[in-house]
Amino acid sequence: MEIVAFGVQADERPYLEKAFAGRHQVRSLDVFLNRDTAPIARGYEIVSSSVNGDLGADVLQTLAAGGTKLIAQRSTGFHNIDLEAAADLGMSIGRVSCYSPYAVAEFAWALALAVNRRIVRAAHRTRNFDFRLDGLMGRDLRGRTAGVLGTGRIGEAFTRIAHGFGMNLLGWDLAENPRCVELGMKYVPRERLFAEADLITLHLPLVAETRRIVDAAALAAMKDDAILVNSSRGGLVDTEALVETLQAGRLTGVGLDVYEEEAKFFFFDKSLDIVDDDTLARLMTFENVLVTSHQAYFTEDAVGQIVEATVANVEDHLAHRTNENMLVTRGQLPKAAR
């Protein structure tokens, strides 16, 4: 079986090709799956995509017409896939239900510490042999309050690190995580979390109920010197409202590994292009904002687990089996997803 994989990063390619070696041939492409590139997959029963691929109804129709039966997405998120359209087309959709939560949690902490201690500004200065400390003062995190929205595997890993720092812990989620409670986390309404937390981190899935959960009202409720970190999904934050908040001189720092409109920019070299996204352009002008390109998951451990799960999804599909990663199985959409 020959498989075509879209959106394969250079560092990811050897992991993907090694995992499938001796089983199936993989055609690894660095282009992302969308309506323009979908015709490339004609004749491939199995297509693998990344989280920034566009798998809307029109793209799925093109793939189905070309003979694709399985989409094996190499990510946990699946907000980019029209599951109902896939079901109507008789396709199967698999994802990676989990991988190293430490990869994302540790990176979220890297963002938090970097903006708190002005690491990027300091590094730029010292490269120019400017060793002044003016404007580089941060704060101890010990004794301050971390607010964690979403306390699943990643949120729990973040919480354990916060506990190690000696922070007070506030959480918000649909269900309490008893392991977080054991660490001293107190679950509160999210309005209280926004108002009391010194460090706010997002580890929620992007669904209708969480879209722009950090909106103008949430930002207004935050402390003027709060730190906001988002390493989950860009759509959780109203970026225009965030820019207005920063323009008002509020928030000590913001660390973003994701962005609402990232699909047009992230994973590409846009250094020679004119960026036509005014919101992103304004966001990048703030000295206390650190933006990275959706790399929180990008460790050897996590990528290895993602690839292994993708291989399992392919093998189970070919053997007419299902597993916990399958969102749609041969046109059958779980009732809970409808």
**pLDDT per residue over 285-323, tens digit each?**
999 999 999 999 999 999 999 999 999 999 999 999 999
Percent of the chain at pLDDT exceeding 90: 94
Tokens (6 digits) for 10: 């250079």
With residues binned 3-state (H G I as helix, E B as strand, rest as coil), the percentages for the chain, rounded to 5, are: 35, 15, 45
Active site residue 262: yes
Residue with tokens 């935050």: 222
Measured in degrees and rounded to the nearest 5, phi and psi for residue 288 equal -95, 15
Tokens (6 digits) for 283: 């966001």
Question: Strands (DSSP E) along 165-233, which ranges?
Answer: 168-172, 186-187, 199-202, 227-230
Give the pLDDT mean for 4-16. 96
Predicted confidence at residue 77, as pLDDT, reads 86
Of all helices (H) and strands (E), which one includes residue 224? none
How many angstroms from the chain centroid is the CA of residue 111?
14
Cβ atoms of 44 and 67 within 8 Å: the answer is yes
Task: Choose the catalytic residue: 95, 118, 153, 294.
Answer: 294
Active site residue 13: no
Please state, in angstroms and rounded to a whole number, the distance separating the CA atoms of residues 108 and 280: 20
Active site residue 294: yes
Task: Choose the catalytic residue: 196, 260, 262, 317.
Answer: 262
Task: Choose the catalytic residue: 144, 233, 260, 317.
Answer: 233
Predicted confidence at residue 331, as pLDDT, reads 87
